[in-house]
Chains A and B, each alone.
Chain A
Amino acid sequence: MGHIHKQQVVALISGLIFGFGLGVSQMIDRDRVIGFLDVAGHWDPTLAFVMGGAVAVTLITFRVVLRQPRPLLASRFFLPTRNDIDRPLLIGAAIFGIGWGIAGYCPGPGLTALVLGLANPIIFVVAMIAGSLSWKAISDRAEKRQREGVKV
Chain B
Amino acid sequence: MQSAWIAGLIGGMLIGLSATLLLAVNGRIAGISGMVNGALTFAASERWRWWFLGGMVGGGALYEYGLAAQPTPSSTFAPWAMLVGGFLVGVGTRLGNGCTSGHGVCGLGRLSGRSLAAVLTFMTTAALTVFVTHHVLG
- B-binding residues in A (CB < 8 A): 4, 7-32, 34, 37-41, 44-59, 61-62, 65-66, 68, 70-80, 82-85, 88-108, 110-116, 118-121, 123-136, 139
Q: Are B13 and A57 in contact (CB under 8 A)?
A: yes
Which residues in B have their C-beta under 8 angstroms from that of A47? Answer: 8
Main secondary structure of the interface of B (DSSP, over half): helix
Main secondary structure of the interface of A (DSSP, over half): helix
Count residues on chain B whose CB falls below 8 Å from chain A CBs: 108
- A-binding residues in B (CB < 8 A): 4-30, 32-33, 35-37, 40, 47-49, 51-65, 67-68, 72-75, 77, 79, 81-97, 99-101, 103-114, 117-119, 121-131, 133-135
Q: Are B101 and A103 in contact (CB under 8 A)?
A: no
| Other contacts beyond A55-B109, A100-B122: 12, CB < 8 A | A16-B56, A16-B58, A19-B62, A20-B14, A23-B72, A24-B7, A55-B108, A71-B27, A93-B118, A95-B92, A102-B85, A106-B32
- B118 shortest CB reach to chain A, Å: 4
CB contact under 8 A between A11 and B55, given known A39-B131, A50-B12: yes
